[in-house]
C-alpha cells in the first residue's frame, strides 16, 4: 500500500481532548474521527453549506417539533384555511387563537430568561414564507409587521388572530391592528412588570 | 495520540491532500488555516455531543432546503387538525382532491430535485411529519412497499396523507398496485414506471 504523505497543523489542546473524548465514545480512533469529520466539512462546504448553518437548520426543525408545528405545502394550507374560514369562521379563528395562546404559554412556562425573545426568534424562523417580517420591541411596546403577497385573505386574518392571542398571553393589551390580505400591522403595549 | 506540543497547542498530522483542501477552503473564507480547522472541529464536536452526526445533519439540511424551495410552511398542529376535521366533514371530496394534487406537484418536484425521489419522499415524511412514528420503503420481489405508522394520526388525517402519497407517487411516475389504510396506518405497494 502506498504510504500517505502527511502534514501537520496546530490545534488547541483542550479542543483535541474534547474531540478525542467524543471519538472514543463513538468507537473511533482520534485520527479516524478527525479525518472523517474534516472530509465531511469540506464536502459540505463544496455543497455551499457551512457547519453552522447545518446546526441552525436542524435546530429549526427541532424547535418546530417542540412547538407542535407541522410542515406542509403552502398552497395546501391556504386552500384548507380558506375552506375552513368560509365554513366556520368563528371556530376557525378560535382554533388559531388557542394555538397562539398555547404556544406563548409554552415559552412563558419554559424557564428561559426572555420568553418573548425566544418566541420571537422561533416565530421569525417558522414564518419563512413571509416576504417581510419585523417584530420590534421598545420598552413595553411591541410592533409587528408582516407582508406576504402570497397569503390568502383568510390565512392573513387567521395568522393575525394567532399573533394577537400569543401577545395577550405575554401580557400585551391595547391593540391597534391593521389587517388586510397579505398584510398584518399590529401594535400592542403592556404594563410594566 | 502523537504530535508535537507548543504553548497549549499540539501538532496534528493529517493526509496532505486533506490539508490542501482545508487550506483552499480556509483561504476562500479568508480565515487562517488553524482557525478554520479549529472552528470546524468545534462544530463537529458540538454536533456529536448533541447526539447527531454530520451526515444526518446534511440530510436534514437538504430536506429543509427543498421544503423551503417547494413552498412549504409551518402550521400549528392543532390548527391543522381543526382545519382537517372541519373541512373533511363538509367538503371531503374537495379536500382529498386538494391533497392529491399537492402530492402530485410534490412528486414532480421531487423527481426533478433528487436522484432517488421515492426515498426522498419517505425522508421528507419522516423529517417533517413528526406525528408519524415510522416511515419506511422496502423493495420486496421487485415491488416497492411504503409503510407509515402513527399513534397520533386521526382517521381523516390518515386518509388525507394517503391521498398525498398517492398523488406524489403519480407525480413521480410510479404505478400504485395496492393501498391499504386504517387510522394511523398506511401501506402502499407500487412499482416504478420507466
Local confidence pLDDT in tens for the 193 residues of chain A: 667 788 888 888 898 999 999 889 888 899 998 998 898 888 888 878 887 788 888 788 888 888 888 888 888 888 888 888 888 899 889 989 998 999 999 899 988 899 999 999 989 988 888 999 999 999 899 999 999 998 999 999 999 999 999 999 999 998 999 999 999 999 999 876 6
Read off the pLDDT of each residue in B124-130 and give the average, rounded to a whole number: 81
Q: What's the pLDDT score for residue A193?
A: 60
Q: Are residues B33 and B68 in the same domain?
A: no
Q: What's the pLDDT score for residue B10?
A: 87
Q: Are residues B45 and B72 in the same domain?
A: no
In sequence order, what are the beta bridge partners of B148? B135, B186
Contact assignment for B77 to A69 by CB distance below 8 Å: yes
Q: Are residues B78 and B137 in the same domain?
A: yes
Percent of chain B surpassing pLDDT 70? 96
Classified as helix, coil or strand, B57 is helix
Q: Are residues B115 and B150 in the same domain?
A: yes
CB A79 within 8 A of CB B105: no
Q: Are residues B107 and B174 in the same domain?
A: yes
ipTM over 0.90: no
- CA distance to A16, A124, A139, B7, B129, per residue, from B33 (Å): 16, 34, 44, 18, 41
Q: Are residues B164 and B78 in the same domain?
A: yes
CB contacts < 8 A (A, B): 241
Percent of chain B surpassing pLDDT 90? 32
Q: What's the pLDDT score for residue B2?
A: 47
Contact assignment for A15 to B41 by CB distance below 8 Å: yes
The count of domains in chain B is 2
pTM above 0.90, yes or no: no
Q: Are residues B18 and B94 in the same domain?
A: no
Q: Are residues B175 and B93 in the same domain?
A: yes
CB B98 within 8 A of CB A76: yes
Q: Determine which of B74, B121, B165 to mutate to test the interface with A (most A C-beta atoms within 10 Å).
A: B74
Q: What's the pLDDT score for residue B5?
A: 55
In sequence order, what are the beta bridge partners of B175? B191
Q: A129 — contact with chain B (CB < 8 Å)?
A: yes
Q: Are residues B138 and B99 in the same domain?
A: yes
B143-190: pLDDT as tens digits: 999 999 998 888 888 999 999 999 999 999 999 999 999 999 999 999
Say how far apart CA B150 and CA B152 lie, in whole Å: 5
Which range of residues forms the domain containing residue B137? Answer: 63-192
pLDDT band at B4; cut points 50, 70, 90 = low
Say how far apart CA A14 and CA A169 lie, in whole Å: 44
Tell me, yes or no, whether B8 lies in a domain: no
Q: Are residues B102 and B32 in the same domain?
A: no
The CATH class for the domain spanning A62-189 reads: alpha beta
**In chain B, which residue ranges form alpha helices assigned H by DSSP?**
16-28, 33-49, 54-69, 77-113, 117-128, 155-171
B112-B72-B65 Cα angle (round to 5): 60
Minimum mean pLDDT range among A96-100, B51-55, B95-99, B103-107? B51-55
Q: What's the pLDDT score for residue B113?
A: 84
For the cut 60, the answer to whether the pLDDT of residue B1 exceeds it is no
Contacts of B41 in chain A (CB under 8 A): 11, 15, 19, 34, 37-38
Q: Are residues B91 and B129 in the same domain?
A: yes
Contacts of B70 in chain A (CB under 8 A): 73
Q: What's the pLDDT score for residue A88?
A: 87
Q: What's the pLDDT score for residue B129?
A: 80
Tell me, yes or no, whether B127 lies in a domain: yes
Tell me, yes or no, whether B42 lies in a domain: yes
Tell me, yes or no, whether B6 lies in a domain: no
For the cut 60, the answer to whether the pLDDT of residue B6 exceeds it is no
Sequence spans of domains, chain A: 13-49, 62-189
CB B106 within 8 A of CB A76: no
Q: Are residues B47 and B67 in the same domain?
A: no
Tell me, yes or no, whether B25 lies in a domain: yes
Amino acid at each position: 500500500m502506498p504510504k500517505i504523505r502527511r502534514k501537520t497543523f496546530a490545534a488547541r489542546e483542550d479542543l483535541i481532548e474534547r474531540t478525542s473524548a467524543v471519538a472514543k465514545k463513538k468507537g473511533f480512533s482520534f485520527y479516524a474521527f478527525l479525518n472523517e469529520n474534516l472530509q465531511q466539512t469540506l464536502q459540505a462546504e463544496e455543497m455551499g453549506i457551512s457547519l453552522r448553518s447545518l446546526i441552525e437548520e436542524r435546530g429549526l426543525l427541532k424547535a418546530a417539533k417542540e412547538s407542535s408545528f407541522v410542515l406542509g405545502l403552502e398552497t395546501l394550507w391556504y386552500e384548507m384555511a380558506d375552506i375552513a374560514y368560509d365554513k366556520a369562521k368563528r371556530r376557525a379563528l378560535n382554533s388559531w387563537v388557542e394555538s397562539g395562546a398555547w404556544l406563548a404559554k409554552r415559552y412563558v412556562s419554559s424557564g428561559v430568561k426572555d420568553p418573548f425573545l425566544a418566541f420571537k426568534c422561533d416565530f421569525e424562523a417558522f414564518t419563512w414564507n413571509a416576504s417581510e417580517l419585523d417584530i420590534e420591541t421598545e420598552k413595553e411596546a411591541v410592533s409587528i409587521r408582516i407582508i406576504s403577497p402570497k397569503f390568502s385573505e383568510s390565512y392573513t386574518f387567521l395568522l393575525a388572530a394567532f399573533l394577537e392571542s400569543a401577545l395577550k398571553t405575554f401580557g400585551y393589551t391595547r391593540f391597534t391592528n391593521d389587517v388586510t390580505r397579505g398584510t398584518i400591522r399590529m401594535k400592542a403595549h403592556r404594563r410594566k412588570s | 495520540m502523537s504530535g508535537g506540543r507548543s504553548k497549549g497547542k499540539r501538532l496534528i498530522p493529517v493526509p496532505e491532500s486533506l490539508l490542501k483542501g482545508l487550506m483552499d477552503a480556509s483561504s476562500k473564507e479568508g480565515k487562517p488555516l488553524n482557525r478554520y480547522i479549529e472552528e470546524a472541529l468545534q462544530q463537529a464536536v458540538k454536533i456529536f455531543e448533541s447526539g447527531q452526526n454530520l451526515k444526518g445533519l446534511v440530510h436534514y439540511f437538504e430536506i429543509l432546503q427543498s421544503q423551503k424551495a417547494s413552498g412549504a410552511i409551518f402550521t400549528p398542529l392543532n390548527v391543522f387538525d381543526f382545519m382537517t376535521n372541519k373541512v373533511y366533514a363538509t367538503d371531503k371530496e374537495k379536500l382529498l382532491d386538494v391533497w392529491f394534487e399537492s402530492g402530485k406537484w410534490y412528486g414532480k418536484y421531487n423527481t426533478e430535485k433528487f436522484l432517488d425521489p421515492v426515498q426522498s419522499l419517505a425522508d421528507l415524511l419522516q423529517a417533517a411529519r413528526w406525528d408519524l412514528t415510522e416511515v419506511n420503503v422496502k423493495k420486496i420481489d421487485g415491488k416497492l412497499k411504503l409503510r407509515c405508522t402513527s399513534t397520533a394520526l386521526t382517521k381523516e388525517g390518515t386518509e388525507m396523507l394517503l391521498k398525498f402519497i398517492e398523488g406524489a407517487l403519480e407525480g413521480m411516475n410510479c404505478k400504485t398496485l395496492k393501498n391499504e389504510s386504517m387510522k394511523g396506518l398506511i401501506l402502499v405497494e407500487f412499482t416504478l414506471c420507466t
